[in-house]
Amino acid sequence: MDVISVIRTKRDRGELSPEQIDWVIDAYTRGVVADEQMSALAMAILLNGMNRTEIARWTAAMIASGERMNFDSLSRPTADKHSTGGVGDKITLPLAPLVAACGAAVPQLSGRGLGHTGGTLDKLESIPGWRALLSNEEMLHVLDTTGAVICAAGDGLAPADKKLYALRDVTGTVEAIPLIASSIMSKKIAEGTGSLVLDVKVGSGAFMKNIEDARELARTMVGLGTDSGVKTVALLTDMSTPLGLTAGNALEVRESVEVLAGGGPADVVELTIALAKEMLDAAGIKDADPAKALADGSAMDHWRRMIAAQGGDPDATLPVAREQHVVTAPESGVLTRLDAYGVGVAAWRLGAGRARKEDPVQAGAGVELHAKPGDTVTAGQPLMTLHTDTPEKFDYALASLAGTYDIAPAGTAFSATPIVLDRIA
């Protein structure tokens, strides 16, 4: 085998053989295939796609690159959730302790920011002392004692994906459906969860811009999970507008704590409860009430224990950016559109995301929204506040917000898009 022939096969719209796939994943993991060569192959896959057989083999090869975990020793059924990425998508933070409070164990392996979308681990690392990197033994201990754990996949779990995930982020190949599906499902299958709920985002702020592509991705992942013995369900959810009122790292942690305290934005609460119900059903837990667990404080109790078990201080003051810039409404009327992608790019440019895989992120950077579509605004009213430690980035962020919102005359009728668009099982 040689990598050039593998690249040429996919470049020329050919089907990669099982032997080619097994070899290139193993060789890349060992460093025999260079980043620039895998970048070329990833771009060829983005442009020319893969069939079901290729995707299944690619996923299997990613799993085979490392170890597989097992949670049979736990007294609770396991349920995990994965989002394909959005703007302001902090749902994992309140969701994991909520589902744990309802009786399931949640082994949540999460990732870092990818393109304009935020990363769960980046958000949680804004909590002083919190650790994303746990050994398998530490992960199992936290899961057993608190009911939920949110951490990075260990070096032994699908190491091929860890390398490829970072590479996709900086080579314009994030949106490739075969690579998204295999990346997500290789980790989730190797992780050993008994059931999995997928939150497949649809809209401008998602990698899947239209519902047909989102359904294709959802069906691909549900098929991969089901074939591997993992009960898998997917919800297609709207990402045309940012979720909640924040996009950033510490900003989103703060908002997640508000949800766990019984408040928070209505759309975040709605989606958190919808996903919790799906996870509990998939785990075979039929009599739990997630809304009650939010209201009675039990979800918050699980959050505090989970954060503390990973070295974090749930009472610590979260970082705040040194500089702010307020964007005001240019006219009065009804805000009818707020584009998620523009807000996500602005947060990324302010320092909440990465331009290169080795870049740090700013804990306090991001965008805080003061109005959502359907709200009435007046001229001069704050629409959003930009946060960053590097004020020279304001102009760059503001450029991404040009044309991202519409204000119609007062009295204009507005109809909100449902959060949950479809369900695939």
Positions annotated as catalytic residues are: 82, 161, 168, 183, 187
* Alpha-carbon gap, residue 112 to 349, rounded angstroms: 16
* Alpha-carbon gap, residue 343 to 368, rounded angstroms: 10
* Alpha-carbon gap, residue 324 to 251, rounded angstroms: 13
| Burial class of residue 1, CB neighbours in 10 A (0-12, 13-18, 19+) | middle
* Alpha-carbon gap, residue 79 to 307, rounded angstroms: 19
CA-to-CA separations, 280 to 59, 79, 103, 226, 285, in angstroms, rounded? 26, 7, 8, 17, 5
- DSSP-derived 3-state class of residue 83: strand
CA-to-CA separations, 295 to 96, 130, 245, in angstroms, rounded? 16, 26, 21
Q: State the amino acid at position 312 in one-letter form.
A: G
Beta bridge partners of 333: 377
- DSSP-derived 3-state class of residue 238: strand
DSSP string across 270-336: HHHHHHHHHHHHHTT--S--HHHHHHTSHHHHHHHHHHHHTT--TTSPPP--SEEEEEE-SS-EEEE
Q: State the amino acid at position 404 in one-letter form.
A: T
What does the block give as tokens for 290? Answer: 């997630």
CA atoms within 13 A on the CB side of 99: 37
Q: Are strands 80-83 and 195-202 parallel, antiparallel or unpaired?
A: parallel
Structure letter (DSSP) for residue 89 = -
CA-to-CA separations, 153 to 64, 181, 224, in angstroms, rounded? 15, 16, 19
- DSSP-derived 3-state class of residue 77: coil
Count other Cβ atoms within 10 Å, centred on residue 348: 26
* Alpha-carbon gap, residue 399 to 393, rounded angstroms: 10
